[in-house]
Chains A and B, each alone.
Chain A
Amino acid sequence: MSLRALLIASIATLSLAAPALAGNAGVIVQSGGVNQAHVAQSGAANTFTAVQGGYANRSTVLQTGGSNNAMIGQMGRYNNAVVGQIGSLNRAGVFQMGPDNLAGVGQAGSFNKAILKQWP
């Protein structure tokens, strides 16, 4: 087996094994005028998804552990999202739709990936 095939095989194993890992999964959906969500997850694998629709939206997420995944979607007049991830594999996505968007993503780890998209 070539080195490349070995690498691909190991990556495939990892991706299959990831969902079976024990960890935390959280979902918050908020719809209204003023929405606030504060989340703290700590464990081997952390997954969080938040969707907020309202006049003012605020989300704060802190994930510490091996594998961290956070996705935040906000639609409103004022959108505020802060994500902090500390782990070996960190992925964060923040999507904001509104005239006033503020987002911050901090990642510390071996593999970090962040997507930030803001629309007026």
Chain B
Amino acid sequence: MKTLRWAALAAVTLASSDALARDFNVPTVSVYGAIGVGSGDIAIKQNSTANFVGVMQVGPNVSTSIQQSGQHNHAVVGQIGQTTNATVLQNGGSNRALMRQMSHINNAMLGQIGADNRARLFQIGPNNLAGIGQAGAYNRALLRQLPW
């Protein structure tokens, strides 16, 4: 009886490891960092399991567009200039975004779709325009707009 019990356990263990070997998807990680000086556009698209992106732009007219699709998405954007534009779209389980803009005209659009969404957006300038859209079980947004 004791031998039978061990045999059953071994079979379960083997079946489990076999299933793991066949069904287990190796997670992928994407880390992207970009620094731009001068006017320009930076576009980044990530679709790994965990996505991390950091963008820093300094110039008269700067813009960036980021699209992330994965289980964990993190985006950090900093822009300084005369006109700044940023668009971030995150789709996945957990989404985090931090955006800072400092210029004469600041435009920011942020969309998050996932179970846990958190957004922080800071704009400093005389003309600030911001839009945040969140869809999920837990949504948290912080928007701060200040004059130059």
Interface residues of A (CB under 8 A from B): 22-44, 46, 48, 54, 65
Contact = CB atoms under 8 A, between A and B. Distances in A.
Interface of B: 117, 123, 126-147
Nearest to B142: A38
Given A25-B128, A43-B147, A44-B147, A30 B139 contact: yes
Chain B residues touching A, majority SS = strand
Contacts of A25: 128-130
A25 B138 CA distance: 24
A115 to B, nearest CB: 22
Nearest to B114: A32
Given A36-B141, A39-B144, 5 more contacts: A24-B128, A27-B132, A28-B141, A30-B139, A35-B140
Contacts, number: 96
B141 A30 contact: yes
A83 to B, nearest CB: 14
Contact of A32 (B129, B131, B139): B139
B131 A27 contact: yes
B140 A36 contact: yes
30 contacts: A23-B126, A24-B145, A25-B129, A25-B130, A26-B129, A26-B131, A26-B143, A27-B131, A28-B133, A28-B143, A29-B133, A30-B132, A30-B141, A31-B135, A33-B137, A33-B138, A35-B139, A37-B132, A37-B140, A37-B142, A38-B141, A38-B143, A39-B145, A40-B143, A40-B144, A43-B126, A43-B128, A43-B145, A54-B139, A65-B147
